[in-house]
Chain A
């Protein structure tokens, strides 16, 4: 288990090295670099930040300082399914915090965390711009409008059933 995680990280760092060559060594490129790393690998690992710092010839703490300043960047790998609960004004007025709480309780993690099996992660976002559908949650890339606590259960149950089905399919394929 540990070995595969290390392999994964190695592959990622290799990829980042090749990505960096496309960027000029210019401070103004810092945020675009961080964005493209995160777009491809979903998060910024401490080693990745160090590599960016070396590339741009600035200190790592400088890079870390900028990266942590912005909400967009995450420093832990997200779950397979990323849940974002919208807490914009319109969603708040219509009970967005109750939706977030339901996700948290159901998955037993807090916003900003990932479940131990890396299946789900929850984030709070400030307005995704679908206020007319409040309260809103985004799971992976799909926006779900007019959320309710019972819908939360349904969503997660849906993913669990899907997973179970795939597992059985795999098993029956193997037994064949």
Chain B
């Protein structure tokens, strides 16, 4: 690029930036009051719409001058709905679990009267003398936000917010560089694909750049099928422009003019927000023909994935865009050389694209300074299950699992004991307590028998049955197997049958060995990642929790008392309060009857073991007791009618 066009490019962007700053200042000036409400899917599910309505109403009623700004997700799902209030004279304050009532209170007490209502505060977002900062919590100060830096702080549906925060400047910088130089920078940064396999991103780009073809494609893989992972969705809902910017830089570097964002149709909000973002970028000349006055063209379209887990695999994803059944194809040729419609195609995960703009802005060396030597950068996890502070966490690679679960996410609720952590979704594995000091990076996790995968982490406490967890994942992969390879199609079905047999108390000696053998065969006989990793949950649970399998098979007992065929509930007549009817109303199947002395009993033939009676029994009696095997429950006869 010559000096002249470089100058023109900077000029064009400078005018956009000025406009963005102006608009951003209009709503976020020094003496404006702002109410930022987290309105991504989990916020909405916790009632953010009602909260927003309450704020609007209260502001109008009290004639207060404040802007209400819908923003994306901060990642603190346990505290949703989250509201951030900016008021001159105060640091920005974060309020958690806001209800419509609290919203009205905040408008009156804080915005009108200047009392920040300390009891509802989670913390302030800046250091100050009045209010404790959120940075005092490990959930905040151990995080390192690179990809999610702006998530939850800007309006995802307004491109100028992102630009005002420094967005798209990496694209401008990229356009002044030679494509080779960009690829070099990415290679030097050591960025590895965040989709799971951890292939070097720069190397992939180089391979595609080297192919001498006119048409090339860039695909953003947001087909997040792992049940239990939702960071891709959150990123697209909270800050879609960072992803679009990453895709544009990628397209420029490899010489592509067409890009596709492949989003699951189950994520309607993410689709809507991304669509709007693309339109806005096009409107102000950041996408489309002659981007920012250069001769670089790029069109991004959205393709909605139709809900097939296997389409997360790149060759299957390509098949589905071409209108076929999403079945993986043998590699090579790799998509980077022959992909969509036979053309060289780059497929990267949402988080990978999200890491690109910061790398270009701050340099490869800075990125290498975060995380570990072989896995630089950050990892985003959705930590869910039996955990106190569930939500999205972005941490530097290399932090131990223990610190992630116990320090950052607050450990296990209700003082229960930790049992296992499941990493990497249906392809990953369950790791027991003695693996908690494993550092989180691509290689260490694979070594332990799990994998980084998509970044879903499910924490399980002592009440989780590991055999049932293995069965759950097999049930999932068995349904999602595309059917191409015999071992995956039929083998997973057999694995599932054996596991079903075990959890219903019909397991036989030799079943464990059979599971192991079959698992290894499936791994060897399958083409794609789905089949190759599907037995991982079975293999890791057998390796680390063999005693649980044995208890199910030999003693017909479920140690965690979770498998319903092997447990029973009964009411301890010594503790049951005469005349109390709490459990009767809670039972969905009318299995609870009154004995002759007006105490309660459970009809085992009607009981579906949902556990509602146990929850409803008042704590002072605590009379409902769960046992395994079911024979331990004493027999209480239902008195004859009349």
- Chain A positions within 8 Å of B, measured between CB atoms, are 26-32, 34-35, 65-66, 69-73, 87-90, 92-95, 98, 101-102, 105-106, 125-134, 136, 143-145, 148-150, 152-153
8 A Cβ contacts from B371-398 to A: 382, 384-386, 390-391
- Chain B positions within 8 Å of A, measured between CB atoms, are 41-42, 44-46, 77-78, 80, 224-230, 233-234, 265-267, 303-304, 306-309, 320-326, 382, 384-386, 390-391, 422, 425, 456, 458, 460, 464, 469, 472-473, 476, 482, 586, 588-589, 608, 610-612, 615
Majority-rule SS of A interface residues = helix
B425 engages A130 (CB within 8 Å)? no
Q: Looking at the complex, which one of A30, A136, A150 makes contact with B45 (CB distance below 8 Å)? A: A136
| B324: chain A residues within 8 A (beta carbon) | 27, 66
Q: A71-B306, A132-B390, A149-B586 are in contact. List 15 more A-B contacts (CB 8 A).
A: A27-B324, A29-B323, A30-B323, A31-B303, A32-B304, A90-B458, A92-B469, A95-B610, A98-B610, A127-B229, A130-B41, A130-B42, A134-B384, A143-B45, A150-B612
Q: Looking at the complex, which one of B41, B265, B385, B473 makes contact with A72 (CB distance below 8 Å)? A: B265
* Max chain A Cβ within 10 angstroms of own Cβ: one of B45, B78, B469: B45
B458 engages A93 (CB within 8 Å)? yes
Shortest C-beta distance, B47 to chain A (Å), equals 9
Shortest C-beta distance, B227 to chain A (Å), equals 4
10 tightest A-B CB contacts, nearest first: A132-B77, A129-B230, A70-B306, A89-B228, A88-B227, A143-B45, A131-B384, A30-B323, A71-B307, A127-B227
Q: Looking at the complex, which one of B45, B306, B308, B321 makes contact with A133 (CB distance below 8 Å)? A: B45
A149 engages B610 (CB within 8 Å)? yes
Complex Cα gap A87–B472 (Å)? 9
A35 engages B308 (CB within 8 Å)? no
Shortest C-beta distance, B403 to chain A (Å), equals 20
Complex Cα gap A105–B385 (Å)? 26
Shortest C-beta distance, A132 to chain B (Å), equals 3
A145 engages B45 (CB within 8 Å)? yes
Residue of A nearest to B78 (CB): A132
Q: Given contacts A130-B42, A149-B610, are A90 and B228 in contact (CB under 8 A)?
A: yes
Q: Looking at the complex, which one of A72, A88, A143 makes contact with B228 (CB distance below 8 Å)? A: A88
Q: Looking at the complex, which one of A89, A95, A145 makes contact with B46 (CB distance below 8 Å)? A: A145
Shortest C-beta distance, B525 to chain A (Å), equals 21
Q: Looking at the complex, which one of B42, B229, B309 makes contact with A132 (CB distance below 8 Å)? A: B42
Q: Looking at the complex, which one of A28, A66, A126 makes contact with B321 (CB distance below 8 Å)? A: A28
B265 engages A35 (CB within 8 Å)? yes
Shortest C-beta distance, B587 to chain A (Å), equals 9
- The contact sample of 8 A-B pairs, CB cut-off 8 A, is A31-B303, A70-B308, A71-B308, A93-B469, A101-B608, A105-B589, A129-B224, A145-B46
